Structure 1
Amino acid sequence: MPNDETKEFLASLPELEEGKTYKFKCYPGISCFNACCSDLNLILTPYDILRLRRALSQGSVEFLRLHTTMHKCEDTGFPEFHLRMNDNKARSCPFVTPEGCSLYENRPGACRMYPLGRATRPDGKGGVCEQFFIVQEDHCRGFEEKDEWTGMSWKEDQGFEAYTSSNDRYMNILARIKQRGAPVPEKMGHMATLAFYKLDEFQRFITHMRVFSRFDVDEARQKAILEDEEAALEFAMDWIELMLFESTPNLKAKG
């Protein structure tokens, strides 16, 4: 579920209805190549940051300091991190080169979906319904190409499926906070920053604070959480959900 500003933007765009197609292709040599990689207001999800950090071999504190700006969302109390653009006239992406994205295999989810926007809402069954919208900018010549896509086939082709579960679950947590009508306390906002955006620090926190002693987590999962950041992020979602909403399917407090 996008934030309110993004929802308003998406609502202004033509929807790509289920089963309908559009034509698009982007490649080195097209006249507008890299034009969409400047002057962005790009929100980074926890999973986006995990992938970018790993590609850059950077710790979380270093990555957030060098490559993001942050503000606290008034309606949730959670942090929101934006990719820091280069300080030049074009406000170009720091990772773009004349040959294209230097971190292409680990590019953020929003970059993968372009030229589509994606919005989700709970489906009432524990999952989400998704809608796709066409972002057709004046400079883009990709729509003049012959390759034809549906929203689902584009999502699959661009490797967005790996992002779906984590991003949708995080957006669902934010939506549930908004539904309560009050942001989380400041301390919880700090804990969310640690758990979602500083996974290397969170792994050390888990060990130092003996977090596993308070929950039913089997040894195999404990090992995965401390060694694998995807597993640590999944545990972070469980942990924050349990603290906020007092229940989550995948984590239970002891005794």
Structure 2
Amino acid sequence: MLRFFLLLSCVCQSRGQVQEGIVSGIGIKLCNQKCVERGFCMRFAYDSDRLACHLVHNDSVKWTMKEGYVVHPKLRSQLSACSIATCGFNTRCVERRRGGAACVKGHTEGGALESRCITHSDCSADRMFVCFINSCKCLPGYSFNPANNSCIRRCKVYGNGLTRYLGLGLKEHNDRFLKPKTEKECSEMCIREYRFTCLTFEYHRGHDTCLISKSGYLDVEYSKRETGQQNWILVVRNCA
């Protein structure tokens, strides 16, 4: 019985549990909700980098500010991460996975991705952005990360966002052959694939052919990276 009680205590101190006034591993919405639920809580402080929530009910707010938290008033209405973020000129707020917020820069309101361009320098200071057929995209083989408006080689978690590259393809690296009716159906098949993580898919606009792959454009040898493929589109998954 004692062993069971100790095991239960360990489980209860996992994500979302209060330890010395700190609730760890939760988003800012849930942090606000916990403050609302606890009558003693006057306001709360949140660290978006560590996903840490500190419920404030006394002068501990001074200690909290030294630890890298940002103090927010308790709101009884639904709270979004971007509703309390302060972003500067030519920036926009994006909500991170699991509740944080980030201010990202971009040449257009929607950021650098898919902005109109003539040369690579029109896209972003990030050298991994390129001007691909008059549209700013990540260098083929990189995925767009919406958390900081950048291009990265690997995502921790892949989302539903997609970037299209007309004329590119992967030779001999197709893990599934499908025959959907539309490109949208092909993308849904890639995202729903459970046998492996689908990183890219190719779609032929004339034959409704869908080839999904667990390989990225730069994962294969140079001789297998196809270009100039008429009516073929290579689609790369972006980060969540």
Q: Which has the higher helix share?
A: 1
| Greater RCO, 1 or 2 (C-alpha within 8 Å, sep 6+) | 1
* TM-score over 0.5 (shorter chain): no
TM-score (norm 2): 0.24
Q: Which has the higher strand share?
A: 2
TM-score (norm 1): 0.23
Q: Which has the larger radius of gyration?
A: 2
